[in-house]
Amino acid sequence: MGGQEGGRKSKIRKRERKQRTGKKHLTVKPNSIYKVEGGKLIRNRKTCPRCGDGTFLAHHKDRYYCGRCGYTVFEKKQSQ
């Protein structure tokens, strides 16, 4: 069992925990995902074709990404 054989045990020194600065991440609010028009529920985001309805794709700068299965769709660059 590691450590010293016999004799005095070595002290375990505990460090203070660092304080976290800022928020870890933003929470997703339902009113940013869904919209109600004329009594019908409309989804504002694309759904994942692999996982099915209920799993939304995250929109990044140049792609859509599913956090559950890793499915990625890259947007085509528009030439001017």
Express each pLDDT in 23-74 by its tens digit. Answer: 888 888 888 899 999 999 999 999 999 999 989 999 999 999 999 999 999 9
- The whole-angstrom separation of Cα 14 and Cα 8 is 19
Q: When comparing pLDDT for 10 and 47, which is higher?
A: 47
In 3D space, the residue among 51, 73, 56 whose CA is nearest the CA of residue 64 turns out to be 73
Q: Give the model's pLDDT for residue 25.
A: 83
- The whole-angstrom separation of Cα 66 and Cα 75 is 14
